[in-house]
Amino acid sequence: MENPWKIAQQQFDRSAEILGLEDWLRLKLREPRRVIIVSVPVKMDDGTLKVFTGYRSQHNTARGPAKGGIRYHQDVTLDEVKALSMWMTWKCAVLNLPYGGGKGGVRCNPKTMSTGEIERLTRRYTSEIFDIIGPEKDIPAPDVNTDGQVMAWIMDTYSVLSGKNVPGVVTGKPLDIGGSEGRNAATGRGVYFTLLNYFRNKKQSIGARSVIIQGFGNAGRYAAMLLESAGFKVVGVSDSKGAVYNQNGIDVKDLIRVKAETTSVVNYKEAEKISGEEILYKDADVLIPAALESAITYANADRIRAKIICEAANGPVSNEADKILQERGIIVLPDILANAGGVVVSYFEWLQNMQSYYWTEQQVNEKLELMMKTAFDNVITLAEEKNITLRESALMIAIKRVAEASKIKGLYP
């Protein structure tokens, strides 16, 4: 796998060069403001002690508190977390949210851990990063292998240590403790809105356009449901155990049932069972990488058959692959735009927590649709004006906004 931090920095360098950014701003923005590494000792169910490694990176806070998820995965690294925090900075800026970018993670395999072990891990990790998070400092959210329950434990631990209830310390919480309507579906809904905006902009009909979704977690599942309801035909889906493909279409509701009952999409009987890698190379109008970084690299970009790639994951296409896809005429709807639905509704949740005033799901979805459309229109207008890719356009808009905020604030001391 290619190093995500190098990919993120190379993307920044290219866009900064096009923008003509001053040297001091380039030096400042290409590095995270703060990174911490913590030891997370956890007493396991069998009485033994294990020490896990946790990370939190705050890339930039010029436009507001850091914002970004926490992931639990056996392959979490410092460079991955730094890259994700940089991409979060650009994502928040391209959507014009009053946030900077943050990201965190613990190197562990939660699929081999009990609920009690995950809770103890979460509470200890929270206590270790307590000093640098908070509603006006850094606001975590769910990411890979974390969910509303994990956010509830973080909120409770932070609140106990603060001596008061602090719902705004995290987003993606359950509704009963201050979560927002529409948050669970937000990332997938943002992907859905991005594709609709693209086809509308190009004055192309949706028809029965075929879609492959690589990764069937939260984002992939909701994207599949919404796209199917709009008339798209989901023909392929994968998860960590493999993939299924049927050129005539897959019943998404039935697939979700099979996944829930058997833990994997590979047990769906109405489609051909193939490998998780092979699904990337099948025929489809749209490919949605919705798993981890670097799914498409220089080694396999020439095998992609989809005409459009909509990035539901963070950093699923490497820089070398980007060039190959561009040369082949494949459109890439970039992650910092396409998967921003989650952070937009996280912003809505944070606002609701700070005001103690809560919105309906319809209000949330309408506001999300408007913000996604505004951002998309800005990105595609600049791309067409400058004859650049949508990724370059999105990065330029984001970097310029962060650079302007940094320039106005200056350096202290």
Provide the annotated active-site residues. 103
Beta strands 138-142 and 66-73 are: parallel
Residue burial 182-211, b: 16+ Cβ < 10 Å; e: rest: bbbbbbbbbbbbbbbbbbeeeeeeeeebbb
CA distance 346 to 170: 9
| Partners of 57 in the β-ladder | 35, 103
CA distance 176 to 35: 32
Burial of 23 (0-12, 13-18, 19+ CB in 10 A): exposed
Size (the chain), residues = 413
Q: Rounded to a whole number, what is the largest CA-CA distance in the chain?
A: 64
From 90, 28, 79, 89, select the one nearest 58 (Cα to Cα).
89
Q: Are 200 and 372 in contact (CB under 8 A)?
A: no
CA distance 259 to 403: 44
Q: What angle do CA 28, 34, 40 make, to 5 degrees?
A: 155
H/E stretch holding 406: helix 390-409
CA distance 92 to 85: 11
Q: Are 400 and 62 in contact (CB under 8 A)?
A: no
Number of Cβ within 10 Å of residue 49's Cβ equals 8
The number of angstroms, rounded, from the C-alpha of 106 to the middle of its chain's C-alpha atoms is: 17
Q: Are 337 and 375 in contact (CB under 8 A)?
A: yes
Q: Are 309 and 329 in contact (CB under 8 A)?
A: no
DSSP E strands in 326-381: the ranges are 331-333
Tokens, residue 149: 């329950």
